[in-house]
Structure 1
Amino acid sequence: MTSVLERGLKPSWSWLGVDIYRIFHLAAVFGLTCVLLKVIQLYHRRQELIKAFSRFPSHPTHWLYGHVHELLQGEMLNKTELWSQKYPYAFPLWFGSFSAFLNITHPDYAKAIFARGDPKDNVSYRHIVPWIGKGLLVLHGPKWYQHRKLLTPGFHYDILKPYVPLIADSTKVMLDKWEQLITQEKSLELFEHVSLMTLDSIMKCAFSYQSNCQTDRENSYIRAVFDLSYLVHQRLRIFPYHNDLIYWLSPHGFQFKKACQLAHRHTDKVIRERKESLKDEREREKVQKKRHLDFLDILLHAKDENGAGLSDEDLRAEVDTFMFEGHDTTASGVSWLLYCMALYPEHQQRCREEIKEILGDRETIQWDDLGKMIYSTMCIKESLRLYPPVPAVSRLLSKPITFPDGRTLPEGSLVGVHIYSLHRNPAVWQDPEVFDPMRFSPENLSKRHSHAFLPFAAGARNCIGKQFAMNELKVALALTLLRFELSPDPAKPPKEIPQVVLKSSSGIHLLLRKLP
Structure 2
Amino acid sequence: MEMLGSSSTIWTFIFALPLVLLWIVYRKSKFRYFSDLGVPGPTPSLFNGNYDELMSSGKGSWLVVTDWIKKYGPVFGYYRGGPSRILMVADHEMLKTILIKDFAHFSDRTIMTSSRKRLPVSFRGNLTVLTGDDWKRVRSTLSPTFTAKKMKMMSPKINNMIDILLSIVEEKCAANEVTDIYGLFQGLTLDVIGSCAFAMEVNCQRNPKDIFLENTRALFRNANNLFIRIIQMFPEFNFLIGPIMLLVAPNFKRGRILTSNLRQTIELRRAQMQAGSATNHADMIQLMLEASENKEGGTAEDGKNGHGEVQKKYLTEEEMIGNSFVFLLAGFETTANCLGFTAYLLAKYPEIQQRLYEEIVELFGHTEKVDYEQAQKAAYLEMVIEESLRLFPPVTSFVTRVASETVNVNGQIVPEGTGIEVPVWYLQHDPAVWDQPYEFVPERFSEENKPSINPMSYMPFGAGPRNCIGMRFALLEVKIAFIRILKRYRLDTCEMSEPEIQLQQSTATINPRNGVFVRLSRR
- Shift in CA distance, 68/309, structure 1 to aligned 2, threshold 3 Å: closer
Q: CA deviation at 1:272?
A: 1.0
Q: Which residue of 2 aligns with 1:139?
A: 130
Total equivalences in the alignment: 491
Does residue 323 of structure 1 match 2:323? no
Q: CA deviation at 1:26?
A: 5.2
For 2:131 and 2:8, locate their aligned partners in 1 and report how far apart those are by CA, in whole Å.
47
The aligned runs of 1:314-463 (5 Å cut-off) are: 314-394=319-399, 395-404=401-410, 406-463=411-468
CA distance in 1, matches of 2:428, 2:215: 34
In structure 1, the partner of 2:301 is: none
Cα separation, 1, equivalents of 2:374 and 2:224? 36
| Aligned residue in 2 for 1:268 | 263
**Cα distance, 1:98 vs structure 2:** 4.0
Contact 2:493 2:517 in 1 (8 A): yes
CA positional deviation for 1:295: 0.8
Moved more, 178-187 or 328-337: 178-187
2:111 maps to which of 90, 102, 122: 122
Please report how far the alpha carbon of residue 364 of structure 1 lies from its aligned counterpart in structure 2 after TM superposition.
2.4
Cα distance in 2 between the residues matched to 1:277 and 1:250: 36
> Could you tell me how far apart the structure 1 residues matched to 2:130 and 2:242 are?
24
Q: Could you report, residue by residue, the CA deviation over 1:32-85 in whole angstroms, capped at 9, with x for unpaired residues? A: 232122112112112223223x233x4677787665454423322333234434
> CA 1:422 to 1:185, structure 2 compared with 1: closer, same or farther past 3 Å?
same
In 1, Cα distance between equivalents of 2:156 and 2:225: 34
CA distance in 2, matches of 1:217, 1:500: 22
Pick closer, same or farther for the CA change 1:308–1:213 going to 2, 3 Å.
Answer: same
Matches within 5 A, 1:205-224: 205-224=196-215
The answer for the alignment partner of 1:42 in structure 2 is 27
Correspondences of 1:227-238 after superposition (within 5 Å): 227-234=218-225
- 1:252 to 1:78, Cα distance in 2 relative to 1, 3 A: farther
Residues 338 and 505 of structure 1: CA distance in aligned 2, closer, same or farther (over 3 Å) = closer
* Aligned equivalents of 1:503, 1:276: Cα separation in 2: 40
For the Cα contact (< 8 Å) 1:66–1:94, is it kept in 2?
yes
- d(CA) in 2 for partners of 1:412 and 1:475? 42
* Amino acid corresponding to residue 301 of structure 1 in structure 2: E
TM-score by length of 2: 0.84
CA contact (8 A) 2:491 2:521 kept: no
Q: Is the 8 A contact 1:378 1:438 kept in 2?
A: yes
Residue number among 63, 70, 74 corresponding to 2:58 in the alignment: 74
Q: Give SS of 1:426's match.
A: coil
The partner residue of 2:316 within 290, 307, 311 is: 311
Compute the displacement of 1:186 (Å): 6.2
Partner of 1:498: 505
| 1:300 Cα deviation from its structure 2 partner | 0.8
TM-score norm. by structure 1 comes to: 0.85
CA separation of 1:242/1:179 partners in 2, compared to 1, >3 Å: closer, same or farther? farther
C-alpha deviation, 1:91, in angstroms: 2.9
Cα distance in 2 for residues equivalent to 1:504 and 1:126: 28
The secondary structure found in structure 2 opposite 1:416 is: strand
Q: Distance in 1 between matches of 2:329 and 2:475?
A: 17
* Structure 1 residues 470 and 308: CA distance shift in structure 2, 3 A: closer
Which of 91, 98, 102 is 1:113 aligned to? Answer: 98
- Which range moves more in the overlay, 349-358 or 409-418? 409-418
2-structure distance, mates of 1:252, 1:191: 33
Does residue 55 of structure 1 match 2:46? no
Give the letter for the 1:482 counterpart. Answer: K
Give the match's secondary structure for 1:460.
Answer: coil
After TM superposition, the structure 1 = structure 2 runs for residues 275-290 of structure 1, keeping only pairs within 5 Å, are: 275-280=270-275, 282-283=276-277, 287-288=278-279, 290=280
Shift of 1:387: 0.6
Q: Structure 2, unaligned stretches of length 5 or more?
A: 299-311
Residues 1:367 and 1:266: Cα distance change in structure 2 (over 3 Å): same
Matched, 1:508 2:515: yes
SS in 2 for 1:336: helix
Cα 1:213/1:253, change in 2 over 3 Å:
same
Q: Compared with structure 1, are the counterparts of its residues 184 and 143 closer, same or farther at alpha carbon in structure 2 (3 Å cutoff)?
A: same
Paired residue for 2:306? none
Unaligned stretches of 5+ in structure 1? 1-9, 14-19
Q: 2:242, 2:488 → 1: CA distance? A: 45
TM superposition shift of 1:373:
0.6
2:151 aligned partner: 160
How far apart in 1 are the matches of 2:166 and 2:29? 57
Q: What secondary structure sits across from 2:473 in the alignment?
A: helix
Change (3 A) 1:79 1:218: closer
Whether the aligned pair in 1 keeps the contact of 2:461 and 2:468 (CA below 8 Å) is yes
CA contact (8 A) 1:332 1:501 kept: no
Distance in 1 separating the partners of 2:84 and 2:145: 38
Deviation at 1:478, TM superposition (A): 1.2
What residue is the counterpart of 1:480 in the other structure? Answer: 485
Partners of 2:132 and 2:344 lie apart in 1 by: 39
| Partner Cα distance (2:259, 2:522) in 1 | 43
Does structure 2 conserve the Cα–Cα contact (< 8 Å) formed by 1:332 and 1:389? yes
Tell me if the contact between 2:34 and 2:77 (Cα under 8 Å) persists in the aligned partners. Answer: no
SS in 2 for 1:35: helix
Sequence identity percentage? 25
Output the CA distance in 2 between the equivalents of 1:410 and 1:251. 32
Task: State the 1:199 CA deviation.
Answer: 0.6
1:268 corresponds to which letter in structure 2?
A: R
CA separation in 2, counterparts of 1:79 and 1:461?
26
CA-to-partner distance for each residue in 1:316-350, whole Å, 9 max, x for gaps? 11211211111111111111111121222111111
Q: Identify which range, 433-442 or 454-463, moves more after superposition.
A: 433-442
The structural deviation recorded for 1:504 is 3.5
Aligned to 1:298: 287
